[in-house]
Amino acid sequence: MSDTALRIEGLKVRYGPIEALKGIDIEVEEGSVVALLGANGAGKTTTLQTVSGLVPAAAGKISFFGKDITNTDAEKIAAMGIAQSPEGRQIFPDLTVGENLKAGAFTVKNAKTINQNYERVYHHFPILKERYKQLAGTLSGGELQMLAIARALMSNPKVLLLDEPSLGLAPLIVKGIFHIIDEIKKEGTTVVIVEQNALQTLKIADYGYVLELGEIHISGKASDLIKDERLIEAYLGTQ
């Protein structure tokens, strides 16, 4: 049986008087892809940001391979092996593609490992090798998303958090991005993905959680969720 990479227990998050997460429980097995689905405002991004240490937990516990990381500094969490590709990509537009990638490797001290990480991301995203010296701000939307994921991979994470990787992209580009996420999983990296494009996500996920107003409304194997007609109608749309 595989180890649990990430365990969230009774997690509550508040923004002032608003309770964004109301005591959720999520388990992510090592080497799996877990999807967090739901409408805008459901608490998906808040969940990722709390795991990353960017948003404080009001209550509950987050464990990373059995170690309590609740409210640990974001930089320490990154150094432990959790990397996030944030919603909106948040790349550095005035830096080159290469400089953005190098920034993603800030927790890696070994030059040989950094070079191996470059080779890995160029294998998945060959266009970035071609664009190495290009300013990131001049890239297309699809290339920016590839750069955001590649930058997160440069730290060689054990767990990769992806927030809306398909947002605003053409269907063909989306298909390519999801194919690469599936490849990353096959290499052994655990992936937690927040997505609006639920059907596409469930095709590559092992397990899914549907959030509604800060609570887990439905959870189950992705292969079961994708066949649930009521679920598709209510939450997943017709992507």
Q: Considering its fold, how many domains does the chain have in total?
A: 1
On whether residue 35 sits in a domain, the answer given is: yes
**Order of all β-strands in the sheet with 59-64:** 18-29, 4-15, 59-64, 67-68
Degrees (nearest 5) of the Cα angle 77, 83, 88?
A: 125
On whether residue 106 sits in a domain, the answer given is: no
Query: In angstroms, what CA-CA distances link 112 with 89, 149, 191?
Result: 27, 21, 25
Give the pair of three-digit tokens for residue 159: 């767990």
Q: Is the pLDDT of residue 207 over 70?
A: yes
Q: Is the pLDDT of residue 178 over 80?
A: yes
- Which sign, positive or negative, has the C-alpha torsion 35, 40, 146, 85? negative
Mean pLDDT across the chain, nearest whole number?
92
Q: What is the CATH number of the domain that holds 202?
A: 3.40.50.300
pLDDT, tens only, 76-132: 999 999 999 988 778 999 999 999 999 999 888 889 999 999 999 999 999 999 999
> What is the band of 189 on the pLDDT scale with cuts at 50, 70, 90?
very high
On whether residue 38 sits in a domain, the answer given is: yes
**What DSSP designation does 191 have?**
E
| 70 against 239, higher pLDDT | 70
Percentage with pLDDT > 90 across the chain: 78
Q: Is the pLDDT of residue 4 over 90?
A: yes
Give the pLDDT confidence score for residue 66 in this predicted structure. Answer: 95
On whether residue 172 sits in a domain, the answer given is: no
Give the pLDDT confidence score for residue 88 in this predicted structure. Answer: 72
pLDDT, tens only, 134-143: 999 999 989 9
Degrees (nearest 5) of the Cα angle 57, 44, 59?
A: 20
Give the pLDDT confidence score for residue 127 in this predicted structure. Answer: 94
| Reported pTM | 0.92
Give the pLDDT confidence score for residue 219 in this predicted structure. Answer: 94
On the CB side of 2, how many CA atoms lie within 13 Å of its CA? Answer: 12
Residue 145: its H or E element: helix 141-153
Domain that includes residue 52, residue range: 1-81+192-239
On whether residue 54 sits in a domain, the answer given is: yes
> What is the band of 1 on the pLDDT scale with cuts at 50, 70, 90?
very low
On whether residue 201 sits in a domain, the answer given is: yes
> What is the band of 236 on the pLDDT scale with cuts at 50, 70, 90?
low
> What is the band of 49 on the pLDDT scale with cuts at 50, 70, 90?
very high
Give the pLDDT confidence score for residue 238 in this predicted structure. Answer: 47
pLDDT, tens only, 18-42: 999 999 999 999 999 999 998 888 9
